[in-house]
Amino acid sequence: MLARLDTAAIERMAAILAETRSRGGRLFLLGVGGSAANASHAVNDFRKIAGIEAYAPTDNVSELTARTNDEGWATVFESWLQVSKLRAGDCLFVFSVGGGDVERNASPNLVAALKYGREVGSKIIGIVGRDGGYTAKVADVCAIIPTVNPVHVTPHAEAFQAVVWHLLVSHPSLKAVETKWESVR
């Protein structure tokens, strides 16, 4: 799987993230299920290691569930991004196995958020486990985790999301501070 990762896509993602940081843009990480947990962890790393203002809507379970209850699951991220005043200088970063598919009722909230991101002109990047989803179709750059065993697409995609985001936060154009164990000599 590592040998089949698209390193050129990861380099382009690093460039978009560096550009977002340099112009004072914010990074919004979107994911559901295990990918939401990855988004939460990645927020910490992008803030602490790369010095990028970063947020994940799923980190506030009260707002997430209130919006789901009152407005519906499909628009929960879009409405959160509207309140956050998503703008052209910002970047949406999707972690997803399938990338969203309205017809299959798979992560329609990601699709709505990405449509909104396109409307306001924000950059879109993603790490997904399938190439047919909405994220892969509309992202400026999308790293697709190679399928080596179709029985394990979900665990492989979610595990390799972590590999790719850690490659990004430690990339020379993004890493802003030394990590703890590397700084202890």
pLDDT of residue 180: 82
pLDDT at 171 over 80: yes
Spatial separation of the C-alpha atoms in residues 128 and 142, rounded to whole Å? 7
Q: What are the distances in angstroms from CA 13 to CA 10, 20, 121, 134, 177?
A: 5, 10, 17, 18, 19
Q: What is the CATH number of the domain that holds 72?
A: 3.40.50.10490
Asked whether residue 129 is assigned to any structural domain, the reply reads yes
Asked whether residue 184 is assigned to any structural domain, the reply reads no
Condensed to tens digits (0 to 9), the pLDDT of residues 126-154 reads 999 988 799 999 999 999 999 999 999 99
Provide the token pair at 137: 């179709």
The number of C-alpha atoms within 13 Å of 22 and in the hemisphere containing its C-beta is: 9
Spatial separation of the C-alpha atoms in residues 157 and 23, rounded to whole Å? 30
Which residue segment(s) compose the domain that 65 sits in? Answer: 7-175
Provide the token pair at 23: 């112009």
Average pLDDT over residues 9-37: 97
* CB-based contact 129:162 (threshold 8 Å): no
Asked whether residue 121 is assigned to any structural domain, the reply reads yes
Provide the token pair at 146: 């190679």
pLDDT at 92 over 90: yes
Average pLDDT over residues 42-57: 98
Condensed to tens digits (0 to 9), the pLDDT of residues 74-88 reads 999 999 999 999 999
Q: Is 7 left (phi over 0), alpha (psi -120 to 50) or beta?
A: alpha
Spatial separation of the C-alpha atoms in residues 135 and 168, rounded to whole Å? 19
Spatial separation of the C-alpha atoms in residues 143 and 130, rounded to whole Å? 10
Asked whether residue 62 is assigned to any structural domain, the reply reads yes
Mean pLDDT, rounded, of the chain: 95
Asked whether residue 182 is assigned to any structural domain, the reply reads no
Asked whether residue 108 is assigned to any structural domain, the reply reads yes
Asked whether residue 180 is assigned to any structural domain, the reply reads no
pLDDT of residue 16: 98
pLDDT of residue 141: 98
pTM score, whole prediction: 0.95
pLDDT of residue 139: 98
Q: Which of 77, 92, 118, 81 is nearest to 25 (CA)?
A: 92
> Strand (E) positions, 77-135?
91-96, 123-128
Domain count, the chain: 1
Spatial separation of the C-alpha atoms in residues 88 and 77, rounded to whole Å? 17
Q: If pLDDT is split at 50, 70 and 90, which confidence band does 43 have?
A: very high
Spatial separation of the C-alpha atoms in residues 154 and 167, rounded to whole Å? 20
Burial status of residue 146 (CB atoms within 10 A of its CB: 0-12, 13-18, 19 or more): middle
pLDDT of residue 131: 80
Lowest mean pLDDT among 1-10, 23-32, 99-108: 99-108
pLDDT of residue 179: 85
Asked whether residue 185 is assigned to any structural domain, the reply reads no
Residue 145 is classified by DSSP as P
